[in-house]
Amino acid sequence: METVVLNSAFWQGKRVLLTGHTGFKGSWLALWLEQLGAQVTGFALAPPTQPSLYELARVGEGISSHIGDLRDLAALQAVVRSARPEIVLHLAAQPLVRESYRDPLGTYASNVMGTLHLLEVMREVGGVRSCVLVTTDKVYANREWLWPYREDEPLGGHDPYSSSKACCELLAQSYAASFFHPSRYAEHGLAMATARAGNVLGGGDFAADRLIPDVLAAWSRGEPVTLRYPQAVRPWQHALEPLAGYLQLAQGLYEQGPALAGAWNFGPADTDMCRVGQVVEHLAQHWPDCPGLRIEPAELHEAGLLRLDSTRARQLLGWLPRWDLQQCLAATLEWHQAWRGGQDMRSVTLQQVASYRGLA
The full set of domains in the chain, from first to last, is 8-198+238-267+301-323 (3.40.50.720)
Partners of residue 145 on adjacent β-strands: none
pLDDT of residue 87: 98
pLDDT attached to residue 300: 57
Taking each helix axis as running N to C, give the angle between helix 325-340 and helix 276-284, from 0 to 180 degrees, rounded to the nearest 10: 50
Please, are residues 286 and 330 in contact by the beta-carbon 8 Å criterion? Answer: yes
Residue 90 bridge partners (DSSP):
19, 133
Beta partners for residue 67, in sequence order: 44
Of 281, 246, 285, the residue nearest 264 (C-alpha): 246
Q: Say what the pLDDT of residue 256 is.
A: 96
Dihedral angle over CA of 155, 160, 161, 166, nearest 10: 20
Provide Rg for the chain, Cα atoms: 19
Give the residue ranges of DSSP H helices in 57-210: 73-83, 97-102, 104-108, 114-125, 160-178, 185-188
- Please give the average pLDDT of every successive group of 10 residues along the chain, which has 360 residues: 87 98 98 98 96 98 97 98 98 93 97 98 97 96 86 94 97 97 95 93 88 85 85 85 98 97 92 82 84 72 74 96 91 93 98 90
d(CA 69, CA 44): 6
In terms of C-beta density within 10 A (0-12 exposed, 13-18 middle, 19 or more buried), how is residue 270 classed?
exposed
pLDDT score for 75: 98
CA dihedral 176, 180, 181, 182 (to 10 degrees): -110
CB 67 within 8 A of CB 22: yes
